[in-house]
Chains A and B, each alone.
Chain A
Amino acid sequence: AAGVIQSPRHLIKEKRETATLKCYPIPRHDTVYWYQQGPGQDPQFLISFYEKMQSDKGSIPDRFSAQQFSDYHSELNMSSLELGDSALYFCASSPTGQGRSKNIQYFGAGTRLSVL
């Protein structure tokens, strides 16, 4: 079965650079979520999109922005990177529009971002 695809898997950036992470949800899933997991920490919710509109917002820094495109894939844009942004970034998707019983979130393998 198709899963959530994230790219790249690993990314190394310097301080003050920008980064773009991509997420391709499971086919026919209309909702994507972004989470950040720092070393030894639990995942923290950043932002979600339903049908290409921002739906819920968590602890996403102002330096970060995200969007969902017409094909439902999503991109997380990160600017002015800081050392503290080094983390595992997860994308999840769910078929929310198919009924509330379908809102299980399925996670991708994550993008490991290292800021040097």
Chain B
Amino acid sequence: KQEVTQIPAALSVPEGENLVLNCSFTDSAIYNLQWFRQDPGKGLTSLLLIQSSQREQTSGRLNASLDKSSGRSTLYIAASQPGDSATYLCAVSSGGGADGLTFGKGTHLIIQP
């Protein structure tokens, strides 16, 4: 059974810092990996999706990398802003098509103004 772990569970940094969120998964036979953002009591916003054949994806100040063989992904946030404060969730799909995602428990990020 696939298990996804995210480290750290919580992180608080001053505004402007670059930071890295980590995600690991136990079964490297994934189809893709998706990073989400969730604000308190709200839905999930997809940030980046990396297919298993890709090494990284970039969107604005966000960069996600994938090392499938070692079962790891990182989300890099450059020049953090208070508006980046949220919970960041990593999720993997172990099959193509309509397979459900397996989520990690998230990293709760606070950016101090």
Of the stretches B10-18, B40-48, B60-68, B71-79, the one at the interface is B40-48
Contact A96 to B97, CB < 8 A, known contacts A107-B45, A110-B43? yes
Which residues of A are at the interface with B, using a C-beta cutoff of 8 A? 31, 33, 35, 41-50, 55-56, 58, 88, 90, 92, 94, 96, 100-101, 103-110, 112
Q: Is the CB of B32 within 8 A of A103?
A: yes
Q: Is B113 an interface residue (CB 8 A)?
A: no
Partner of B104, one of A42, A45, A106, A109: A42
Interface size class of B (residues with CB under 8 A): 20 to 34
Chain B stretch 54-113: residues in CB contact (< 8 A) with chain A: 89, 91, 93, 95-106
Q: Is B34 an interface residue (CB 8 A)?
A: yes
Contact A31 to B106, CB < 8 A, known contacts A108-B43, A109-B42? no
Contact A48 to B100, CB < 8 A, known contacts A42-B89, A103-B93, A104-B34? yes
